[in-house]
Amino acid sequence: MLIRRAHDEDIDQLMAIEELCYDHPWPREAFEEEIAQGDVGMGFVAEDEGLVVGFLTGMMGVDEFLLHNVAVHPDFRDRGIGRKLIEAAEELCLENEFQRILLEVREDNEIARHLYLSMGFEAVGTRKDYYGPGQNAYLYTKRIELE
C-alpha cells in the first residue's frame, strides 16, 4: 500500500470511489479544483498494485488544513487505509507548520467519527442541516503539535 500525492490522472479513479461511497457524490469539477490547484488544493491517494483504492482531499489555509473528503473503496475498508490517509494530512501539516486540521462529519457517520476520535480529533461544534434538512454535521478539529 502506497500513500502518495494525487495527480490529475487519478481523477477518474477518485470519481469512481466517490460514487461508490456517497449518495450525493461530489462533481468532477470539485476534484479538479482541489487536485489541480497547486497552491491551496491538496490530495492524497492510497494505491494498491497500481489501483487507487482510497483518497483524501482538502485545502491548505494560512495555518490550517481543511479536510474536505476522505473515502476508501468498500472492498478495501477496515485495513487502516483511512487512518494512513489522515496521517499523510498530519504530515503535510507538520511540513507546512499548520496548527490544526478541521473537518465536518455527518452526525450519523459512526465509523468516520470513531476513526477521527481515535486519532485525537475533538468535536468543537455542530453545523445544523449541513448536509440537508435534518442532517447535521459535527465540526472536528485536531491540533498539530509542532516541534
- The nearest distance, CB 13 to ligand COA, in angstroms, is 14
- Give the 3-state secondary structure percentages of the chain, helix then strand then coil, rounded to 5: 35, 35, 30
Pairing of the two strands 41-48 and 51-60 = antiparallel
- The nearest distance, CB 81 to ligand COA, in angstroms, is 4
Other beta carbons within 10 Å of 42: 24
Binding part of the chain for ligand COA, among 33-41, 57-65, 81-89, 121-129 by CB under 6 A, reads 81-89
- 83 lines the binding site for ligand COA (CB under 6 A): yes
Contact criterion met (CB below 8 Å) for 105 and 113: yes
- 1 lines the binding site for ligand COA (CB under 6 A): no
CB-nearer residue toward ligand COA: 63 or 74 = 74
- The nearest distance, CB 99 to ligand COA, in angstroms, is 21
One residue of 14, 82, 88, 138 binding ligand COA per CB under 6 A = 82
Nearest-5° Cα angle at 34, 31 to 38: 135
- 112 lines the binding site for ligand COA (CB under 6 A): yes
Take residue 61 and report the three cell numbers written for it.
Answer: 489555509
Q: How far apart are CA 54 and CA 62, in angstroms?
A: 26
Binding site for ligand COA (CB under 6 A): 21, 70-72, 77-83, 105, 109, 111-112, 114-115, 118
